[in-house]
């Protein structure tokens, strides 16, 4: 049964774009993601996408090395998300989808600067918007950026497309007895200390009463299949 999500923000990890040999971008993966998003948009779902930058650089990790401070390292991470977003925008356009990158970090010669009203206008016209630059501030992850933008843009849900097909009671790669949950409330996820997303992001999702869907970005799953209820996922809702 199709779930009634009119407008969805899709959160992709940067690692999802990496090549098997570790290179930071992989054209076949970009093409598959673009085709998946195109199929989802074609049936009338309005889509915003936030892409992480972890395939290129992680601000937290390099700041821990001690030679670059955290605000500078996070700024480098924001730039990585812009590169990923431009690559995804190009793949979406090649798939026949009108897409536009909007960055929280202003760089007007490269892409449009994010502002809420223009973003709403693009969504209403059926364009897919790719939101780069995180929140535009250090110390906040792209998970937090995804929930923030979803709340601002009146999205019905955030789909966190990850490496696993939902939220488990433990790490399924470590614990073969781990149980996948089909549905949770925000309070249940917090009480059980389930790692849905980082703390700040999830706290904002709970405060905004925003549905969070967690599913796998890898075949045979897909954005469209998860939203249509045809692939395993966990729905975290009020």
For the chain, what percent of residues have pLDDT higher than 90? Answer: 76
Q: Is residue 2 part of a domain?
A: no
Identify the pLDDT of residue 23.
Answer: 87
Listed residue (138, 171, 8) closest to 60, CA to CA? 138
Domain range enclosing 12: 7-237
> Is the separation of the CB atoms in 229 and 2 below 8 Å?
yes
CA distance 79 to 51: 11
pLDDT at 80: 96
Q: What's the confidence (pLDDT) of residue 211? A: 97
Domain with residue 126: its CATH number is 3.40.1160.10
Give me the pLDDT at residue 218, please. 83
Residue 20 reports pLDDT greater than 90: no
DSSP, collapsed to helix, strand or coil, labels residue 100 as strand
Q: Which residue has the tokens 């799953």?
A: 221
pTM: 0.93
Q: 192-229, pLDDT tens digit by residue?
A: 888 888 889 999 999 999 999 999 988 777 899 999 99
Range with the largest mean pLDDT of 1-15, 122-136, 197-211:
122-136
Alpha helices in 43-184 (DSSP H): 59-64, 70-94, 116-124, 142-152
The reply to whether 160 falls in a domain is yes
pLDDT in tens, 55-81: 998 877 787 877 899 999 999 999 999
Number of independent structural domains in the chain: 1
Question: Per the domain annotation, does 203 fall within a domain?
Answer: yes
Please tell me which of 8-22, 124-138, 183-197, 212-226 the model is most confident about, judged by mean pLDDT: 124-138
| pLDDT at 3 (0 to 100) | 58
Residue 169 lies in a domain: yes
Judge if the upstream peptide bond of residue 55 is cis by omega within 30 degrees of 0: no
User: How many whole angstroms separate alpha carbon 172 and alpha carbon 158?
Assistant: 23
**What pLDDT, on the 0 to 100 scale, is given for residue 58?**
81
1 within some domain = no
- Residue 1: what pLDDT? 43
User: pLDDT, tens digit, for every residue of 79-115?
Assistant: 999 999 999 999 999 999 999 999 999 999 999 999 9
109 belongs to a structural domain: yes
């Amino acid at each position: 049964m199709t779930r009634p999500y009119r407008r969805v923000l899709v959160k992709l990890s940067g690692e999802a774009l990496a090549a098997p040999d570790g290179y930071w971008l992989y054209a076949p993966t970009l093409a598959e993601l673009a085709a998946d998003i195109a199929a989802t948009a074609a049936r009338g779902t309005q889509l915003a996408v936030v892409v992480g930058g972890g395939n290129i650089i992680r601000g937290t990790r390099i700041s821990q090395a001690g030679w670059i401070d955290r605000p500078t390292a996070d700024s480098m991470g924001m730039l990585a998300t812009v590169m990923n977003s431009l690559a995804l925008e190009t793949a979406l356009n090649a798939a026949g989808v009108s897409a536009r990158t909007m960055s929280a970090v202003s760089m007007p010669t490269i892409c449009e600067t994010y502002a809420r009203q223009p973003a709403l206008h693009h969504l209403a016209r059926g364009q897919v918007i790719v939101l780069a630059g995180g929140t535009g501030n250090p110390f906040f992850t792209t998970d937090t950026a995804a929930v923030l933008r979803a709340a601002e843009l009146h999205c019905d849900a955030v789909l966190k497309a990850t490496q696993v097909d939902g939220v488990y009671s433990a790490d399924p790669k470590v614990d073969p007895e781990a149980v996948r949950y089909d549905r949770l409330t925000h309070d249940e996820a917090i009480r059980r200390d389930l790692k849905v997303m980082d703390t700040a992001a999830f706290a904002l999702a709970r405060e905004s009463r925003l549905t969070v869907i967690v599913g796998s970005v890898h075949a045979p799953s897909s954005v469209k299949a998860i939203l249509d209820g045809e692939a395993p996922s966990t729905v975290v809702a009020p």
